[in-house]
Amino acid sequence: MSIVNPHIDALKRLFEGHLAVQVARRYGGAEAEVQRYVLNNGGKHVRPLLCLLTAEAVGGDVTPALGAATALELVHTYSLVHDDLPCMDDDDTRRGKATAHKAFSEAQALLAGDALLTDAFALLAGSGSDAEEQLLASSRRLAMIRELARAAGSEGMVLGQYLDLHWTSRKGAGLAELNRIHRHKTGDLLGASAAMGAIAGGAPADIVDHCRRFGQLLGIAFQVLDDVLDESAATGKSPGKDRQAGKLTYLALMSPEEARAEAAAYTRQAIESVQGLKSSRTLIDFILSLLGRTH
């Protein structure tokens, strides 16, 4: 992902520095080698950046949102580790490297994913030892825990993954079913990312709801483009793997040109939904950079 906005680039460095501290603190032992491997495996850090940028867009500061951003990255990484397992998508590569179960073992990958998911909520609950934690009232912390649990659980990512597996190699699904898959599998966590940023930034409940919806729209646009890019080796994953596995994808229902137009339409809706926030320009730049990505 190419980011041309210097402020976004600075936020990315800020988050990556914070993540490195958390990884060293929480996963420094030999028994946490898999967690270090997957968390230090690069990535675009879309969800943490969306959280930080939304905190700013509602008029808040990014510092209280750093813990939430890190929790989001732990949950996202757990989902990738589990999605790659043989019982799910059975992928050999992720971000150009061997997937966790290939680099270690299936059991170790499963346990590492379990740890990352659980530790995300421990991080959100807070120990009171970090400066940014002390800036968050317990009511905001509880609201973010609720937001993340809803996005990650049986009404969110888990449901999306179930539907994805259900429709693999089956006929009869159309665009409505595909949008439902990705509204949950991708959109709900992006929605939570924006909502958690708004909560950390001190936004009222109606603005939090507004930001969640924005993230969900962005999630569908992101996934449409992901399906187009799945045919390219530049993704760092096995090119064309979803199509070969018989998965329901946007390219199974439309041409690459139509899919890009679909992604652009959802992106426009997402942009329109945040233009009323206090400071949306940088957030919009970030959205546009996602649409223009090549991997």
Sign of the dihedral through C-alpha 197, 130, 10, 115: negative
Q: What does the alpha-carbon distance between residue 52 and residue 46 come to, in Å, rounded to a whole number?
A: 10
- Find the mean pLDDT for residues 264-285: 88
CA angle 142, 144, 148 (to 5 degrees): 120
Phi, psi for residue 94 in degrees, rounded to 5: -145, 125
Q: Domain for residue 1, yes or no?
A: no
Q: To the nearest whole number, what is the mean pLDDT of the chain?
A: 89
User: Domain range spanning residue 211?
Assistant: 6-291
**In the structure, what pLDDT confidence band is assigned to residue 122 with cuts at 50, 70 and 90?**
very high
Least confident span in 103-112, 239-248, 283-292: 239-248
CA atoms within 13 A on the CB side of 227: 29
% of the chain surpassing 70 pLDDT? 89
Please provide residue 60's backbone torsions phi and psi, each rounded to the nearest 5 degrees: -100, -175
Q: Within a domain: residue 26?
A: yes
Question: Residue 133 falls within a domain, yes or no?
Answer: yes
Please indicate, yes or no, if residue 76 is contained in any of the structural domains.
Answer: yes
Distance CA 76, CA 45 (A): 9
User: Is 200 within the bounds of a domain?
Assistant: yes
Give me the residue label for tokens 């009869």: 172
The pLDDT value recorded for residue 132 is 63
In a domain, 141, yes or no: yes
Whether 130 has a pLDDT exceeding 70, the answer reads: no
pLDDT of 242 > 70? The answer is no
Amino acid in position 73: E
Task: Give the global pTM.
Answer: 0.91
First to last CA, the chain: 7
Give buried/exposed letters for 222-249 (b at 16+ CB in 10 A, else e): bbbbbbbbbbeeebbbbbebbeeeebbb
Q: What is the 3-state secondary structure (H, E, C) of the chain?
A: CCCCCHHHHHHHHHHHHHHHHHHHHHCCCHHHHHHHHHHCCCCCCHHHHHHHHHHHHCCCCCHHHHHHHHHHHHHHHHHHHHHCCCCCCCCCEECCEECHHHHCCHHHHHHHHHHHHHHHHHHHHCCCCCCCHHHCCHHHHHHHHHHHHHHHCCCCHHHHHHHHHHHCCCCCCCHHHHHHHHHHHHHHHHHHHHHHHHHHCCCCHHHHHHHHHHHHHHHHHHHHHHHHHCCCHHHCCCCCHHHHCCCCCHHHCCCHHHHHHHHHHHHHHHHHHHCCCCCCHHHHHHHHHHHCCCC
Decide if pLDDT at 144 tops 60.
yes
Which tens digits make up the pLDDT trace of 8-37? Answer: 999 999 999 999 999 999 999 999 999 999
Q: Does residue 139 register a pLDDT over 70?
A: yes
Tell me how far apart the alpha carbons of residues 192 and 198 are, in angstroms, rounded to a whole number. 10
**pLDDT for residue 261 is more than 80:** yes
pLDDT given at position 279: 85
What pLDDT does 246 receive?
74
Span 146-179, pLDDT tens digits: 999 999 999 999 999 999 999 988 888 899 999 9
Give the pLDDT confidence of 51-101 residue by residue, as tens digits.
999 999 999 999 999 999 999 999 999 999 999 999 998 999 998 899 999
The pair of three-digit structure tokens given for residue 25, joined into one six-digit string: 């603190």
Judge whether residue 113 has pLDDT over 50: yes
Give the separation between CA 287 and CA 111, rounded to whole angstroms: 34
pLDDT at position 287: 87
Query: Using CA atoms, how far apart are residues 189 and 240, in angstroms rounded to an integer?
Result: 24
- Report the CATH number at residue 84: 1.10.600.10
* Average pLDDT of the residues in 37-53: 93
The predicted pLDDT at position 131 comes to: 58
pLDDT at 237 over 80: no
How far, rounded to the nearest angstrom, does the alpha carbon of residue 227 sit from its chain's CA centroid? 16
Return d(Cα 180, Cα 186) in angstroms, integer: 10
The pLDDT of 4-11, averaged and rounded, is: 88
Q: How confident is residue 134, by pLDDT bands cut at 50, 70 and 90? A: low
Count how many domains the chain has: 1
pLDDT band at 1 (very low <50, low <70, confident <90, very high): very low
